[in-house]
Structures are given as structure tokens and as C-alpha cells.
Amino acid sequence: MFSYLILGFCTFFILEQFINWCHDHCGIHDKKLVTYLVIFSDFIHNLIDGLAIAGSFIIGFEIGVVTIVAIGLHEIPQEIGDFGVLLYGGFQRKKALLLNYASVVTVIVGGVTGYFLSNLKIDAAVLLLPFAAGNFIYIAASDLIPDIKHGENIGRNLVHFFTFITGILFMLIIKSL
């Protein structure tokens, strides 16, 4: 399982390095082009969310439901932010909403892919969940933790802390199921 976690971590590291390299060397500095990178990364992110949901349901119904709730709580503000980025990038509301919706649909694609993987002679949960966890650990380690660490607003720091504790409580609930 550890090797799949490392594979997930390294996959996102390589993908982010490619996007940064492309941004610097492919001339992608236009706001609209950057928004396409945001949508592309959101497609991949949501696909992995779908794989994580499928892997969770393979383990158990209750764990699948908790995973959907946790991902939903994360996705709602993220998709609102992505919609704002698309509007800022110059997209019309209708096209921004359509692109945002298309990226969300990849959750279903990931879930269906995970379901079909579960029908193979492999333990899909052993593959899917550590891979997805590696992706999420990479995002936390490279983006979230460094940003939170430099926060000087005590109120915001407390919100981050209680959100962190809530995440741990979700994991304890999952473990007890």
C-alpha cells in the first residue's frame, strides 16, 4: 500500500512540476490560458476524488458515505472558487459554469472507473485509496500547510486548527465503522 501512496504523491508532484514548467516555458501567462490549467487540474483532482469514493465504497457503505460527505465539504467551496477564477479569466458566466460542471462530472468517471477496477482480480481499494491519499498528502504538504503556517491572523489560525481537528474526528469515525 505504501508504494501506491508514494506513487500518488509523486504523480501530483510531477504534474505540478510540468504545469509550472509549462507556465514558465510555454508562454502561458495570459489569464485565460491559466484558467485552462485550473480546469485541467480540477478534472484530474475530481477524477481522483471519484476513485477515492469508489475505493471507500469497496471497503464499506458507511465509509463510502463519510468519504462523500468529506469530499463534498471540500468540493463546494473549491468549485465556487474555480468558478470565480474562470470569471476572472474572462469566461462568460454560462461557459464558466459549463466548464466547472464538466470538471465535476469527472468525479463520476473516477467512481465508475473505480467500480470496474473492483471487478478485476485485484484489490482495488488497496490501489485506489493509497493513490488518492498520496495526492491529497502532496496537496496538503506543498500548498495548504505552508500557507497556513505563515498566517498571522489568530482567528483564521483557530478556524484552520478546528478544521484540522474536524478532519481528524472524521478519520476516527471512519476507523470506528
Q: Dihedral of the CA atoms 170, 147, 129, 176 (nearest 10)?
A: -20
pLDDT at 98 over 90: yes
Over residues 160-171, the mean pLDDT reads 82
pLDDT at 55 over 70: yes
| Cβ-proximal residues to 59 (8 Å cutoff; 6+ apart), any chain | 125, 129
Average per-residue pLDDT for the chain? 82
Over residues 110-117, the mean pLDDT reads 88
Domain residue ranges in the chain: 2-176
Which residue, 136, 102, 148, 143, is CA-closest to 20?
143
User: Cell for 174?
Assistant: 471512519
Which residue, 129, 131, 134, 133, is CA-closest to 59?
129
User: Cell for 31?
Assistant: 489569464
This prediction has a pTM of 0.69
